[in-house]
Structure 1
């Protein structure tokens, strides 16, 4: 049995995933999540994920954005001691932060495939749209956890490839709609 690789993210209705909390990536509409009324139950998926997560995975840029903040964040305290994997061909081990659990640098999609064949539970990818897109193209993503926000951004990064490839079917595992217009969509990749 292989470990599941799960992409989780906030997404606009038109598929944009970058800069939901701020303008860190330079997106002119950065912080778009904050423009939606806060309804606590719309974020219940995040608590459910924490119970299931056995490891985290990031691309280099998302790691560099989260590493200075998440280790001391009360909102992310449950992730502190979990193993973390950073997929990067350029990140050096001396650039890894201390005090945030075991962190391993993986250099390729082949390294990710090998990790999936190891013992353990689900590995969740936070942020890291480009990484998730590359891993999906390599048929390594097993599930998507999406919170879709009622906003159209027209430009920005998507987790889904625009490359000409074979159709990939998804099976709806769970869904819910909330009073603020946010929709939870959890899909399994059909193989």
Structure 2
């Protein structure tokens, strides 16, 4: 069985909305509000090398697909299989992308052979995956920023109790904290 990992940039108040750009009024808060410290992003390079597939929701697909294929730092992501959970997307144009129509199809993908499946962005999808008991691990980079509003990874829209086991953590000079949690089953 494959491991499903939700990976997020998150503010201290839990917002994951528009960390690099997007519709949030404070879009780009990861680089506009917090000094860049290279070692804080080590986990992102490691994720890309260890993953064998990427899973995203429709909104994240619409944001990533026009940009990521032109970025050399995402070469592994661009080459690997990508899956978009959507009931409306037809004929995705991003290289090696398939559409899954339901959480049940994600569960079937997870049961197959292969390595880690990374979920980027996609707050609504991540909540649905957590509610279905499909998330195995969370990779969080928590930024010392409070936004107050925006899409959150953890909120009261899904009633799901999960116990987590902290397996890796580190604090960086810019105030970013890495926290890697396994879901306890």
TM-score, normalization by structure 1:
0.93
Instruction: Supply the distance in 1 between the matched residues of 2:151 and 2:58 (Cα, whole angstroms).
Output: 15
| 3-state SS of paired residue (2:170) | strand
Residues 172 and 188, structure 1, Cα contact 8 Å, conserved in 2? yes
Match of 2:89 in 1: 91
Q: 1:30 aligned to 2:11?
A: no
Gaps of 5+ in 2: none
Match of 2:55 in 1: 57
Match of 1:118 in 2: 112
Instruction: Supply the distance in 1 between the matched residues of 2:158 and 2:132 (Cα, whole angstroms).
Output: 13
Residues 137 and 161, structure 1, Cα contact 8 Å, conserved in 2? no
Residues 142-168 of structure 1, C-alpha deviations (whole Å, 9 max, x = no match): 110000000111111111241463521
Instruction: Supply the distance in 1 between the matched residues of 2:19 and 2:59 (Cα, whole angstroms).
Output: 15
Residues 172 and 185, structure 1, Cα contact 8 Å, conserved in 2? yes
Residues 99-128 of structure 1, C-alpha deviations (whole Å, 9 max, x = no match): x2x211000000000111101111001111
1:159 pairs, out of 124, 145, 153, with 153
Residues 131 and 158, structure 2, Cα contact 8 Å, conserved in 1? no
Residues 19 and 29, structure 2, Cα contact 8 Å, conserved in 1? yes
Q: 1:80 aligned to 2:81?
A: no
Count matched residues. 184
Gaps of 5+ in 1: none
Root-mean-square deviation (CA), in Å?
1.2
TM-score, normalization by structure 2:
0.95
Instruction: Supply the distance in 1 between the matched residues of 2:159 and 2:72 (Cα, whole angstroms).
Output: 41
